[in-house]
Structure formats: structure tokens, C-alpha cells
Chains A and B, each alone.
Chain A
């Protein structure tokens, strides 16, 4: 380790960290916005879910680098080329999370809500979605962490991220840079995860003091075909 290297390159470290953060956060945010309505549709029309699930699993199995390369022809070497595949990966995690979250609402609660005169939309907004929050956030945590680490792969096609330090350090045979890159990626992921856990706590005061189960979330093979 050459510790002195770090303060000397402070500006570029900070810049790449911000780039990585943005690149890692946008996909799960877009993914969440898309997967809530899609997930609701899948719960409403049960036949929709199996094909959606198969498609998203197939996409998830693709190596990110392969997707980047394919997309370069259409979207060039810009951020979009990285954001689109990462958003697709996020959807693969978030759609099942939304569906599982909504399905985790006890039938008795759903029935009681209907019997008390909730209209279907009101029931969804005031009862089912709030109760699905723990499972959805559990999915979001996986999506954010994997998206932050995958964003670094974008560096291979020249999109700036903390991946820069991994590639540069390797090419110059300078381990300090590699260690720093890895440490920052892990730190970013952990900080985002802690923030999400706090958000979940804030949104679900009724779970305080109780053992929290994430619900029946599907754990996809996260390492499948990466890089």
C-alpha cells in the first residue's frame, strides 16, 4: 500500500465514487418505479407472472459485459449503455419482490379490508402496498448492492466508475489503486444498504421489536455470468 497516493488523487477518487454511486443507484430507482405497476399487474392477472418471471430470469443470466457490448451499437459509449442493463437486472430482482410482497399480505387482512368497504385501489394503496414494504425493500437492498458493484464493470467500455481504479491499478501493476477501488465499492454498497434498512424501519414502525422476516423473496444467483 502506498498511502500517500490517496490524498494526492483525492479529486479523482471523489469524482469516480460519485459516478459509481449515480450509476449504481439510478437503475434500481428506475427499476422500482417500473416494477411496482408491473408487479401489481402480475398479482392482478396471475397468468402474466410466469412469462414475466421466465423472461427476467433469462435476462438475469446474461453477462453484463455482453449486454454492454450489444448496446454500444445503439446507445454508444455513454452512461445509458450501462444504465439499461443494470435496470434490467434490477427489474429481475424487484418484480418478484413486489409480487412476493403483495402476496405476503394475509388473506384475512385483504378480506377484512374488502369487507369494510375499501375500494380495490384504496385497498392497494392503504393496505397492501404498505404491508409489502418490508419484502420490497429486502429486494431493493439486493438490487442496490449488486447494481453498485456491477456499475464498476462499465469502466471496461469507458463509462467512469470506481472500476477505473481496478483496471488502472492492474495495468500499472499498482495494487494500492486496486485495494482502494474494492474498498470504496464495498463501502458504497454498505452505506446504501444501511440507509435502506433505516428507511424500512421508518416506514414500518409496526415491525419494531418484532423479528423481521424478509418474506418469501426469491434469491437469484447473483454471481451468474458476471464480467
Chain B
């Protein structure tokens, strides 16, 4: 746990970078500090490992006041990743990663062994890259080395200062996914600074929004930030279509599924029409013997056919995208529905077998229900899914 107790940083010229900040960063979570330039987010981060010392107030890491610790010792227990990577140009990749273990007096052989382990962890091939120098790597690879170096001594706390700002959007998305994956495995206490609110919402367990002048505007989960911004400043900062983006945090598991109108291709047109009328559905979904989706059939189309003809002979409308209620969010379900010509989307399980269908009406109810639950303070249950873009 990292605690800021009315921390103020005032520079000699009178500028107040951070003004009486109170903030608690719980263990094992990613806390994102986000805000425009000059809002004091980076200064706040750097006060944790004493690259900047507060003018007043206290910062506690696991109950210990950082100002009372030996600065070098304190820093070896806190990983640090920066935008420009700060890799040592004169050291090989493995020696860069081995830096902190070496400072801690670990033998060179052991430190390098550990470095190679970490290279695998962050997705770098140790055999080909360990002996290279930083300049021989791409920006994205350098940033992975930076993360590996910060993790080398297995510190409980990781500070990241705009770690993904210098790479192109595709690499940035990959690195963000990587961070989420790593965090699921390592459960570090991560403090990440960014000016990009999308990044904050994507990777943060908690987001602290700063306003200019070093004030805290709101601390909340990404879902709360989107669903209940504290004021106009936060609302503007969070930006456009927050209602849609918020759906990423609601699991699709709560969605009611239509199962009656999911029919095998051998069903007769007459039987299908009967089921569809009973359910009040204008479309039925045709599935294979292995329950894979084959396509939609319009009830209106069936009515022009002999009652005894099989469903598989009817004209099929493509299913387009499917979604998985067990892992996807309501946003993915909504997206699949929008993309479908039938205004319906197909839910499948991990084997790709159909479990039901959904429609705008069902989505509307599920969204309303999830929003109400969230507004009552019930946390959404969706585990973060790296593959899903929260944009």
C-alpha cells in the first residue's frame, strides 16, 4: 500500500506542482494517474521513489515514510519504467536487465540467468537478444526490456512514467495488453502515469484524474469514471461516447438469451414457423449437427415455402460476428448485434457452439440492469480481457 498524506510539492520559483494530495494506492492493483501536462501526475510518481522530495506531507510505502529510508535502498525495491526507456546504451540487454540484482550484490551469472528468465516473461527471445545492445532493438522491444529491468529484483512496487507514449499505436496496444497479462500473473502494486485517458481506462484498476495545479479531481474505477464523472472537468476529460465505452466493464453473462428459435437444419419450415410465432421472433437461427451457427432464416421467407421443406433449404443470412457471454462484455455483444443484418447476435461457448441469440431489446434490458447495479455500487464482475479493446 502506498499512501500520500497531504503531500505538497512547491518549487523554489513558487510553482506548486502538487497541492495537498491525499491518495491511497492499494496493493496488487494498477493505479493510473492521468491528467493534462502540468497537473502534477509525474511529480507525484517521482516522489514515491524520491526522485523528487515533497515540500510537505508524508508518503508511506507499506507504512514506511520514504523520506526516512535510505534513498538507494528504497529505489532498489521499486521498479521504474520511463517513456524514453532510459536503457544503458553501453550495456547489453541482459546486463541492462540484470542491473538491480547486480547492485544488490547478486553474482553476475545468477543475475544474467534471471535476466534471461525475465526476457521470456516480457516476450523477448533471450537466445537472440540477450547479447545485443539497446540501439539494435525496436522501440517496442526496448520498452519491454525497460519493463523486464524494472521487474528484475522482483520489487513489490512498479512505477511507470508514460511507459507507452513513445511507440506507435499498434505497438502501444500490444504493450498495454502485455502489461495486463503480466499483472494478472505478478500482482504488483503498479502506479502508471499517462496523459491518455483511454490508456488509463484500459489498464487501470483505479484511475486518479488530476486537474491543473496539482489537484485531484476524482479517484474511481474506470467504470465509475465513465458512468459517474465527478464534475464537468472529469466529464470533458473522459471524453466522447463514454456510455458505449462503459459497456466494456459489464459482463455479457447477465444477458438473457433466446434459445427456442435456435433450430437444427433438419427442422421443417412448418415447425420453425410455429416456434417463431410462439416466441414472437421474426428470425430463426439454423445450426449444424455440431451446434455451429449456419445462418439466419427470416420467418417471412419460410411462410412462402412448403411446410414440410427443411430449414437448411431456405435462404440463409450470414451470422457475421458471434460473442461469448462467459468472457465478453456487453459492448462486444452490442457490437455483434450492430454488425448483424438481423439485429440479432449469436452467443457461442468456447467450442464455438451456439448457446443462444440476443437482440436489441434484450441488450437494452441488460444494459439498463447493469448500469443500475453499478450505480447502486455493485461492482461489475467482468475480468479484464486483454484482447478486447476499450476504445
CB of A50 closer than 8 Å to a CB of B = no
Whether A108 contacts B85 in the complex (CB less than 8 A), given A117-B100, A117-B103, A118-B72, comes out as: yes
A115 touches B75 (CB 8 A): yes
Chain B residues with Cβ under 8 A from A109's Cβ?
Answer: 86-89
A26 shortest CB reach to chain B, Å? 29
Min CB–CB distance B79 → chain A (angstroms): 9
Give every chain B residue within 8 A of A112 (Cβ-Cβ): 80, 82, 85-88
B91 contacts chain A at the CB level, 8 A cutoff: yes
In contact, B86 and A111 (Cβ under 8 angstroms): yes
Given known contacts A116-B75, A116-B100, A206-B135, is B90 in contact with A106 (CB within 8 Å)? no
Which of A111, A117, A127, A130 meets B73, CB within 8 Å?
A: A117
Instruction: Mark contacts of B79-103 with chain A using CB atoms, 8 A cut-off: 1 yes-contact digit, 0 otherwise.
Output: 0101111111111000000011001
Q: Does A119 contact B (CB under 8 A)?
A: yes
A127 to B99, CA, bound (A): 11
Contact B51 A111 (CB under 8 A): yes
Q: What is the bound-complex CA distance between A115 and B191, given in angstroms? A: 15
Q: Is the CB of A131 within 8 A of B89?
A: yes
Which of B76, B83, B85 is the one whose CB lies under 8 Å from A116? B76
Partner of B88, one of A117, A122, A127, A210: A127
The chain A residue with its CB closest to the CB of B73 is: A117
B133 adjacent to chain A (CB < 8 Å): yes
Collect the chain B residues with CB atoms within 8 Å of residue A113's CB. 86, 88
Nearest A-chain residue to B152, judged by Cβ:
A116
Task: Compute how far the CA of A118 lies from the CA of B71 in the bound complex, rounded to whole angstroms.
Answer: 9
Task: Tell me, yes or no, whether A114 is within 8 Å of chain B by CB.
Answer: yes
Main secondary structure of the interface of A (DSSP, over half): helix
A198 at the binding interface (Cβ < 8 Å) = no
Instruction: Determine whether A204 belongs to the interface, using a CB cutoff of 8 Å to chain B.
Output: yes
Whole-angstrom distance between the alpha carbons of A118 and B103 in the complex? Answer: 7
Question: What's the least CB distance linking B290 to chain A, in Å?
Answer: 55
Interface residues of A in 45-100 (CB under 8 A from B): none
Known contacts A116-B103, A117-B100, A118-B103, A206 near B84 by CB under 8 Å: no
Chain A residues contacting B72 (CB-CB under 8 Å) are 117-119
Q: Which residue of B lies closest to A131 (CB)?
A: B90
**For residues 121 through 143 of chain B, which have their beta carbon under 8 Å from a beta carbon of chain A?**
133-135
Given contacts A112-B87, A115-B75, A131-B89, contact A206 B133 (CB under 8 A): yes
- Cα A113 to Cα B51 with chains together (Å): 11
How many residues in A have their beta carbons less than 8 Å from beta carbons of B? 20
Q: Which residues of chain B are within 8 angstroms of A114 by Cβ–Cβ distance?
A: 51, 75
Given A116-B99, A117-B75, A118-B103, A111 contacting B90 (CB threshold 8 A): no
Which residues of the partner chain B approach A118 to less than 8 Å between Cβ atoms? Answer: 72, 103
Among B74, B89, B103, the most chain A Cβ lie within 10 Å of the Cβ of B89
Please tell me which one of the listed residues A108, A119, A204 contacts residue B86 in the complex, with CB atoms under 8 A apart. Answer: A108
Question: Which residues of B sit under 8 angstroms from A111, Cβ to Cβ?
Answer: 51, 82, 86
B357 lies within 8 A of chain A by Cβ:
no
Judging by beta carbons under 8 Å apart, are B51 and A106 in contact? Answer: no
- Nearest CB of A to B45, in Å: 10
A193-206 CB mask vs B (1 if < 8 Å, else 0) is 00000000000111
Q: Which residues of chain A are within 8 angstroms of B149 by Cβ–Cβ distance?
A: 116
**Binary CB contact string for chain A from 134 to 151 against chain B (1 if under 8 A, 0 otherwise):** 000000000000000000
Closest to A209 in B: B136
Q: Which residues of B contact A115 (CB under 8 A)?
A: 49, 51, 75, 78, 80, 82, 86, 159
A206:B89 contact, CB within 8 angstroms: yes
Closest to A120 in B: B72
Residue from the set B83, B84, B100 with the largest chain A CB neighbour count within 10 Å: B84
B49 touches A106 (CB 8 A): no
Minimum CB–CB distance for A133 against chain B, Å? 8
In contact, B51 and A130 (Cβ under 8 angstroms) = no
Cα–Cα, bound, A111→B88 (Å): 11
- Once bound together, how far apart are the Cα atoms of A130 and B133, in whole Å? 14
A residues in contact with B86, CB < 8 Å: 106, 108-109, 111-113, 115
Q: Could you tell me the distance between the alpha carbons of A118 and B70 in the complex, rounded to whole angstroms?
A: 12
Query: Which residues of A sit under 8 angstroms from B74, Cβ to Cβ?
Result: 117
Most buried by B among A106, A108, A115: A115
The answer to whether A130 and B76 touch across the interface, beta carbons within 8 angstroms, is: no
Complex: A109 Cα to B76 Cα, angstroms: 16
How far is B135's CA from A131's CA once the two chains are assembled, in angstroms? 14
B51 nearest CB neighbor, chain A only: A115
Min CB distance B183 to A, Å, is 20
A109 to B80: give the CA distance in the assembly, Å.
12
A residues less than 8 Å from B51 (CB atoms):
111, 114-115
Alpha-carbon distance A210/B91, docked complex (angstroms) = 15
Q: Give A111's nearest chain B residue, CB to CB.
A: B86
Residue from the list B78, B83, B84, B133 in contact with A106, Cβ < 8 A? B84
Given contacts A109-B88, A118-B103, A206-B91, 6 further A-B contacts (CB under 8 A): A106-B86, A108-B86, A109-B86, A116-B103, A117-B74, A206-B135
Some 24 contacts from A to B, beta carbons below 8 A apart, are: A108-B82, A108-B83, A108-B85, A108-B86, A109-B86, A111-B51, A111-B86, A112-B87, A115-B82, A115-B86, A116-B75, A116-B76, A116-B149, A117-B72, A117-B74, A117-B75, A117-B76, A117-B103, A118-B72, A122-B103, A127-B90, A204-B90, A206-B89, A206-B90
Top 4 nearest A-B pairs by Cβ distance? A112-B86, A117-B76, A108-B84, A117-B75
A residues contacting B by CB (< 8 A) are 106, 108-109, 111-119, 122, 127, 130-131, 204-206, 210
